[in-house]
Chains A and B, each alone.
Chain A
């Protein structure tokens, strides 16, 4: 009996500790996976006609969500699913709330290329013939074999997406077509500073050698004329959460220790022991670091975020200054 009592005490104690740990984590991890776009939310129900409810839009990534709310203005209510700058979107798992939001949406916008596969699954789970879906991969006519899914870093992507948004929103609410049209014009105008900046960097530092952890901003590097020295296999491995080959790791580390690169672009949202090691190597070897993001950091619009990234790159090339975090 005595022994039994002791057993129960010990086991109970162990389980208690474990459960306490879980509860502790649970409270620490209270970041919401969904944030309603505040711009749209604050402008909700301020439409001239008080009886129209805003168009329900769900964007898989908040950079697309931001563009939708810029174009739809007060006539849309946008929910962005992936918007947490501290997590890796590649490993996102959909929750029941996500499913509910998608089921009630009139317009969906997603990236494609395997970046947000959960969208397709949830769409087929709640079929709706009237729902509009913008799949950016399909929109740009890209094959499934396209290696780099981070399409929003490509300067040519968003204008096409914006036009598709106007088309779909106008189909849902024809009365506001010209309003959407105007906003789209404004949006394209506001991309100009980013384009100018890209061209300026390209002109001033042609073929400057840089390194990355993974391909998040490779399209931007292409557009600004940088030369990414990191082997593609290495980038793909980090992006997919597998181990790069030791040969590639050595090659990558040598870029830092032998000062072969001018800037290190560090994805803040896909990190592991290896990327942290590289970050330390950059600091030891006095190589400026530019933090890049998968999803739009808070306090930004799509265009201000893109402009910031290029300006940070320029700052690193020109003045040897690191900008590790945005927002």
Chain B
């Protein structure tokens, strides 16, 4: 019996301080990413989410250069570059936003290449690229835990404040404008929420993979339910389970070949997210479309009861 337990949970899992840290931060990140992710999926902004993670990588590589905590670099450059995308993409429909994201994304990644080169050639921070791109959940400075939790709570609060106007402007920007909602501000503030989610996620599983927890769990949840609120809860739960299992498996992998090395957490988390998504696809459903309410009254209904997706039969 103990043997089986040791296979499932390698010795030391429950007493290891770095595992406890990883679980705590991982949970916060999974919840925030899951909740924000539902809106990202509804608004069709997966690519922007991915780009924001890469923008953050540039900031993080700068912070390595000056010996700051990568978190601040992730946040700072994410907001700056995101604002650039937002401003450049204004006045166009979605396609315009998509193109400006692409253009800025490429430039900022070029900057990232430059700063990572500086990191590795002018400082002794050897692990900068691996840490920035693929995350180091077990090596996060315990001092960052309170900061992460506070930022996470702030993001959630901001999202709750934005909830109704955001929902409206995500479904029908013209109608939202007509009702006096400052659509531009709403979109900018939501982008800030995305930056927060993606930055924290980058710390855990790296900038390249930060959208894993943003898109996968949300996409899974939206396949399982038609209610926005419930989708948020399901999405956060899916992400959390994937993160926890990922951490346990990474810890256990110390005893797998090649023994004594351990596999990266990122690999397990991304695999589990994909697995959950594939499982959710077994639920038979037609392609979904957002019902576009034609009248005022049904719009009120949407806001009251949440976003419902209908089968297109």
Contacts and interface: CB of A to CB of B under 8 A. Distances in A.
A63 to B, nearest CB: 17
Contacts of A84: 122
A277 B141 contact: yes
B124 A274 contact: no
A91 B121 contact: yes
A43 B114 CA distance: 38
Nearest to B127: A241
A93 B117 contact: yes
Interface residues of A, number: 45
Contact of A242 (B83, B114, B125, B130): B130
Contact of A14 (B17, B84, B120, B127): B84
Chain B interface residue number, banded: 35 or more
B271 interface: no
Contact of A249 (B18, B83, B126): B18
Nearest to A269: B124
Contacts of A188: none
A90 interface: yes
Nearest to B251: A246
B91 interface: yes
Nearest to A31: B122
B16 A271 contact: no
B202 interface: no
Contact of A86 (B80, B117, B122, B127): B122
B124 A87 contact: yes
Given A249-B138, A270-B126, A14 B10 contact: no
A29 to B, nearest CB: 5
Contacts of B250: 246
Interface in A1-38: 3, 7, 10-11, 14, 17-18, 21-22, 25, 29, 31, 33
Contacts of A29: 118, 122
A111 B170 CA distance: 60
A11 B123 contact: no
Interface in B129-188: 129-131, 136, 138-139, 141
Contact of A274 (B139, B254, B262): B139
Nearest to B21: A246
Contact of B138 (A33, A239, A246): A246
Interface string B198-233: 000000000000000000000000000000000000
A250 B17 contact: yes
Contacts, number: 123
A294 to B, nearest CB: 9
Contacts of B290: none
Contact of A247 (B90, B131, B139, B251): B251
Contacts of B131: 243, 272-273
B84 A11 contact: yes
Contacts of B123: 86-88
Contacts of B128: 241, 272
Contacts of A87: 120-124
A274 B125 CA distance: 10
Contact of A93 (B10, B121, B124, B141): B121
B84 A272 contact: no
A240 B129 CA distance: 11
B126 A245 contact: no
B44 interface: no
Nearest to B141: A273
Interface in B1-45: 10, 12, 16-19, 22
Nearest to A249: B18
A209 interface: no
B124 A270 contact: yes
A30 B1 CA distance: 62
A52 B153 CA distance: 74
B80 A241 contact: no
A205 interface: no
A139 interface: no
Contact of B126 (A11, A31, A271): A271
A174 B250 CA distance: 61
A237 B118 CA distance: 21
Nearest to B255: A247
B90 A7 contact: yes
Interface in A233-261: 233, 237-250
B302 interface: no
A231 interface: yes
A233 B261 contact: yes
A233 B126 CA distance: 16
A272 B250 CA distance: 21
Nearest to A294: B124
A95 to B, nearest CB: 9
B88 interface: yes
A62 interface: no
A243 B254 contact: no
A268 B16 CA distance: 28
5 contacts: A25-B65, A88-B120, A243-B139, A245-B260, A271-B124
